[in-house]
């Protein structure tokens, strides 16, 4: 799912996507920061069309969340 979302975005924005999930027709995209989330919001229509087509599912909505990076284990 993450790869489909990244493929729907310009390369620089795609690097900010760290997770993606689909639940009840809603795509949730996890990004590394608020500034990236804001930029990606401009591309939600394109992402919806491309991901919907490649996955063969209807997307009812897209939610973009800022996620914390996972802590590295010692």
Determine which helix (DSSP H) or strand (DSSP E) holds 48, and give its type and residue range: helix 44-55
38: in domain = yes
Q: What is the mean pLDDT of the chain?
A: 92
pLDDT, residue 73, reads 53
pTM score, two decimals? 0.87
> Where is average pLDDT lowest: 16-20, 44-48, 64-68, 69-73?
69-73
Per-residue model confidence as pLDDT tens digits over 9-39: 999 999 999 999 999 999 999 999 999 999 9
As given in the structure block, the two tokens for residue 70 are: 């996972």
Domain range for 54 is 2-66
The pLDDT confidence band at residue 72, using thresholds 50, 70 and 90, is low
Please tell me the total count of domains within the chain. Answer: 1
């Amino acid at each position: 799912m993450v790869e489909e979302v990244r493929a729907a975005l310009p390369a620089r924005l795609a690097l900010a996507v760290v997770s993606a999930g689909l639940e009840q027709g809603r795509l949730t995209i996890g990004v590394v920061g608020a500034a990236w989330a804001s930029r990606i919001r401009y591309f939600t229509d394109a992402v919806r069309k491309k991901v919907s087509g490649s996955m063969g599912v209807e997307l009812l909505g897209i939610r973009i969340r800022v996620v914390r990076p996972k802590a590295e284990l010692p």
